[in-house]
Structure 1
Amino acid sequence: MPKIHFIAIGGAAMHNLALALHFQGYKISGSDDEIYEPSKSLLDQQGILPEKFGWFPEKITKDLDCVIVGMHARSDNPELLKAQELGVRIESYPSFLYEHSKNKQRIVIAGSHGKTSITSMVLHVLKNLHKKFDYLVGARIEGFELMASLSDAPIIVIEGDEYLASPIDRRAKFLLYQPHIALISGIAWDHINVYPTFESYTSSFKELIQSMPKAGSLLYDETDEILNQLSESCPDHTDKTGYSAHPSYIKNGKTILKGLDGTDYEIQIFGDHSLKNLNGARLICEQVGVSNTDFYKSIQSFKGAAKRLELVGKSDNCLLYKDFAHAPSKVMATTEALKKQYPQSKLIACLELHTFSSLNPAFLPQYAHSLNSADIAVVYLSEHAREIKRMDRLDEGQVQNYFKHPNLTILREANDLKAWLLQHAWMDTNLLMMSSGTFDGLDLTDLAKQMNLSVQ
């Protein structure tokens, strides 16, 4: 029974990989300095949640077959240093996943935004059609207990993150997978803490494009100007296909696909960015033998990945959505989508600045006009997140100036945000809550109930 230790086991992909290997019979241990839900409960249910939070070098022993280190750990992590000292095999989770899937057809979905949604759509369709496949994706998807699977399936579908592989491997994660089929959903500068310039950020995507194999396939959002330019460096031996939003129309608040097979299909997701994602997912499925008609029939039951325009509560007069959006392009696309889908309703959009990039004054100008589709906007500045990340306190005037929204409120405490939201009547008004965090633990289900909404 192979023994594997995870340094920073609580990460979205790390805990899913740990669970997948646990179910394959591996003996798993791990450490982390903090673990959030749902990772915490999922690890606890399988008996592999660390007993104490923190780093414990004594957990690293010579009998370990491998140590998998996550990017949340630092290069001077005591457990990592101990593993290096003992000569234990050290992998990042992307390098481990590649070794585990060398003999599979590898499909990698990359991009600054949309990759989780596209990956989720592909998995939903393949499962619905009873195809055999492995996968790794960061978000929760309805119908899947685990967000990673490792078996003898002939293909693997991987959400390809551009963040660094590990503290000792500074390559973008997606470069380690060596995909046969790669999709890039769009490029917008992110992760300023590791990509200090836009050029350094795009260089990893260019490297991915240039490294495509003979007879491989590159799919990309052709409406993205930067991506269009980068796609020109794709090798001649690789098939290259651009895509845009799938043809559709809106009827009574519902989005209807104009199927390429001549039939219309009502779907449960909406927004131009979702329709681009759907078209990219369709092309991937086509690559593995799924017909357009089968794709359309399957995608009708897709409700979206967790926290991606996820409906929390509703009434006849109000809808409450939550979304993972945090990068400027995601914030703009999500806000625009909700306003376009329900143009007759007022939209209040709340954005939590929670990431290293979003809390960095040098990056804030990227948010200019990103909330403009909202009638009223709130920017939530978590003091807790700022302290953990050791960032300077942002000045309210700075934030107002950078967002350039005419009706912007800035709040810093969860209780103040909740009180501010509950003062509204919510008549013909929708609420959008956007964050990669939790608004300091604000319970959105409870909020929906207090807004007299039916919880979904």
Structure 2
Amino acid sequence: MTKVHFIAIGGSVMHQLAIALKLKGYQVTGSDDEIFEPALSNLEQAGILPPAMGWDDSRITADIDAVILGMHARADNPELIKARELGLKIYSFPEYIYQESLDKKRVAVGGSHGKTTTTAMIMHILQENNQVFDYLVGARLEGFPQSVNITNAPLIICEADEYPASVIEKRPKFHFLHPHIAILTGIAWDHINVFPTYEIYKEQFAIFIRQLLPEQVLIYNNADDELRNLVEAEGKHLRLIPYNAPVHNIRDGITRVYFDDAWADLQIFGEHNLMNLHAAKLVCNELGINDEAVLKAMTTFTGAAKRLELIGKNDQCVIYRDFAHAPSKVKATIEALKKQFPERKLIAVLELHTYSSLNADFMNEYTGAMDLADEAVVFFSKHALELKRLPDLSPEIIAQGFGRNDLHIFHERNQLEAFLDAQTYQQTNLLMMSSGNYDGLDVNSLKKYL
């Protein structure tokens, strides 16, 4: 029986891989210094929750076939040191995914934005067409019990992240997946703690393209000038398939999309989502699914968790939450809502939560990102600054960065709640954008405005 040990098993995708391997019949153990919900309950239910928190090098034995190293394990971790001393095979998460998928057809969805949604669309279309496949995706999806699945399926669909693989493998995760079919959704600078300049960030995508083997398929967003130039320069050895926003119209808040003679009314909306759908369709075409089958499946697609996720609605107001935090994502999400409901006022709330977004040097990247919102709010917590060891942020720097003098800026949750309570929600939509939780605000409680 294959024996696998996870160092830092409690990560959001790490624990999902651990559960997937347990379900595959592997002997799985793990450790971590702290594990939070929902990973704690998920691991306990699977029977692989570590018996005690903390690191213990006695868990590392010579008969372990693979050690999988999580992102927050440090280089001086005693279990890692012991594994190296014993000469065990040590993998980062993406390196191990590749090992498990050597005999599979691999699809990777990369890019600065839209990865999760595009991956989710492909998965949904395949499932609706009774295809058997493995997957790796960065969100909870309707109809899928976990976010990582590893079986003996002949195909794997992977969300391909550009963040570093592990503490001992600093290269981006998507460099390790070696797909047969790849999507690149666009390039917009992010993760400045890892990629201090835009050129360094862009180079990671150039490397990804160069690594693809001759005649492999690269499906890319032709509307992104930066990406198109990069693909034309680096991708001459590939079968290139460009995509753009498909033909569509919006009537009574419903988006209808057309591919040649086939059409469908969607539950999702926004130009960025339509682009994601076009990319997903092209992948599914490559996998043998025609446009009619793609569109039929997409009529029941409701989106990934926290990606323009509906919190509640009535005849006067719709409340959405979205994972948007990088400037390009914030701009695209606000634009989508304004186009879908042109007659309604939009209150848009953005939490600055990532290292990049809380960094004064990055703030100018947000210029114009919230211009289309009728009321624009920026929230950040002092606690998040402390955790990331960043200096205090002045409201002046934030307002200047966003280029809006009328920007509402709060750093206390009760200030934000008071502001939201004071608004009227007749013919008004509310959009909450964050990769955090607004210092503990229960987003579902906002239904009271309905």
**Same structural fold, with TM-score higher than 0.5 when normalized by the shorter chain:** yes
Tell whether the 8 Å contact from 2:262 to 2:291 is kept in structure 1 after alignment: no
CA distance in 2, matches of 1:243, 1:2: 42
One-letter code aligned to 1:142: E
Note the alpha carbon deviations across 1:283-334, whole angstroms, 9 max, x for none: 0000000001100101110000111000011121111100011111111101
Tell whether the 8 Å contact from 1:375 to 1:407 is kept in structure 2 after alignment: no
**Which residue in the other structure is 1:167 paired with?**
167
CA distance in 2, matches of 1:65, 1:413: 49
5 Å-filtered alignment, 1:131-150, equals 131-150=131-150
The alignment status of 1:432 with 2:431, answered yes or no, reads yes
Tell whether the 8 Å contact from 1:212 to 1:234 is kept in structure 2 after alignment: no
CA distance in 2, matches of 1:154, 1:67: 24
Q: Secondary structure at the match of 1:285?
A: helix
One-letter code aligned to 2:402: F
CA distance in 2, matches of 1:372, 1:274: 20
CA distance in 2, matches of 1:441, 1:58: 38
CA distance in 1, matches of 2:351, 2:313: 22
CA distance in 2, matches of 1:78, 1:407: 52
- Kindly tell me the number of residue pairs found equivalent between the two proteins: 450
5 Å-filtered alignment, 1:139-218, equals 139-218=139-218
**Which residue in the other structure is 1:240 paired with?**
240
Note the alpha carbon deviations across 1:142-190, whole angstroms, 9 max, x for none: 0000111111211111000011111111111111111111100000001
How far has the Cα of 1:39 moved from its partner? 2.9
**Which residue in the other structure is 2:335 paired with?**
336
One-letter code aligned to 2:271: D
**Which residue in the other structure is 1:19 paired with?**
19
Q: Which runs of 5+ in 2 are unaligned?
A: none
How far has the Cα of 1:9 moved from its partner? 2.2
C-alpha change, 1:414 and 1:62, in structure 2 (3 Å) is farther
One-letter code aligned to 1:267: L
**Which sits farther off after the overlay, 430-439 or 80-89?**
80-89
The alignment status of 1:274 with 2:273, answered yes or no, reads yes
CA distance in 2, matches of 1:48, 1:345: 49
CA distance in 1, matches of 2:39, 2:350: 23
Tell whether the 8 Å contact from 1:219 to 1:280 is kept in structure 2 after alignment: yes
**Which residue in the other structure is 1:119 paired with?**
119
**Which residue in the other structure is 1:285 paired with?**
284
CA distance in 1, matches of 2:301, 2:174: 26
Identity, % of aligned positions: 49
Note the alpha carbon deviations across 1:254-299, whole angstroms, 9 max, x for none: 1011232x24310011111001000000000000000011001011
C-alpha change, 1:36 and 1:411, in structure 2 (3 Å) is farther
Tell whether the 8 Å contact from 2:347 to 2:429 is kept in structure 1 after alignment: yes
**Which residue in the other structure is 2:345 paired with?**
346
C-alpha change, 1:32 and 1:385, in structure 2 (3 Å) is farther
CA distance in 1, matches of 2:404, 2:29: 48
Tell whether the 8 Å contact from 1:8 to 1:70 is kept in structure 2 after alignment: yes
**Which residue in the other structure is 1:316 paired with?**
315
**Which sits farther off after the overlay, 435-444 or 10-19?**
10-19
Q: Secondary structure at the match of 1:171?
A: coil
The alignment status of 1:265 with 2:260, answered yes or no, reads no
C-alpha change, 1:31 and 1:432, in structure 2 (3 Å) is farther
How far has the Cα of 1:86 moved from its partner? 3.5
**Which residue in the other structure is 1:225 paired with?**
225
**Which sits farther off after the overlay, 49-58 or 117-126?**
49-58
How far has the Cα of 1:11 moved from its partner? 2.5
**Which residue in the other structure is 1:75 paired with?**
75
**Which residue in the other structure is 2:98 paired with?**
98
**Which residue in the other structure is 2:420 paired with?**
421
**Which sits farther off after the overlay, 31-40 or 94-103?**
31-40
How far has the Cα of 1:74 moved from its partner? 2.8
**Which sits farther off after the overlay, 283-292 or 167-176?**
167-176
The alignment status of 1:394 with 2:381, answered yes or no, reads no
C-alpha change, 1:139 and 1:222, in structure 2 (3 Å) is same
TM-score, structure 2 length as denominator?
Answer: 0.96
How far has the Cα of 1:3 moved from its partner? 2.6
C-alpha change, 1:325 and 1:104, in structure 2 (3 Å) is same
How far has the Cα of 1:383 moved from its partner? 2.1
How far has the Cα of 1:47 moved from its partner? 2.9
How far has the Cα of 1:133 moved from its partner? 1.0
One-letter code aligned to 2:4: I
Tell whether the 8 Å contact from 1:234 to 1:240 is kept in structure 2 after alignment: no
How far has the Cα of 1:127 moved from its partner? 0.3
**Which sits farther off after the overlay, 310-319 or 271-280?**
310-319
One-letter code aligned to 1:42: N
**Which sits farther off after the overlay, 423-432 or 296-305?**
423-432
RMSD: 1.6
Note the alpha carbon deviations across 1:219-270, whole angstroms, 9 max, x for none: 100000110111013444420011001110000011011232x243100111
Note the alpha carbon deviations across 1:32-91, whole angstroms, 9 max, x for none: 344444333322322333455544444434343222112223333343233223333210
C-alpha change, 1:59 and 1:426, in structure 2 (3 Å) is farther
C-alpha change, 1:365 and 1:74, in structure 2 (3 Å) is farther
CA distance in 1, matches of 2:188, 2:257: 27
**Which residue in the other structure is 1:372 paired with?**
371
CA distance in 1, matches of 2:54, 2:384: 18
How far has the Cα of 1:385 moved from its partner? 2.0
One-letter code aligned to 1:316: D
CA distance in 2, matches of 1:342, 1:35: 41
Tell whether the 8 Å contact from 2:263 to 2:295 is kept in structure 1 after alignment: no
CA distance in 2, matches of 1:36, 1:112: 27
Tell whether the 8 Å contact from 2:371 to 2:404 is kept in structure 1 after alignment: yes
**Which residue in the other structure is 2:358 paired with?**
359
CA distance in 2, matches of 1:73, 1:432: 35
How far has the Cα of 1:391 moved from its partner? 1.8
Q: Which runs of 5+ in 1 are unaligned?
A: none
Tell whether the 8 Å contact from 2:322 to 2:433 is kept in structure 1 after alignment: yes
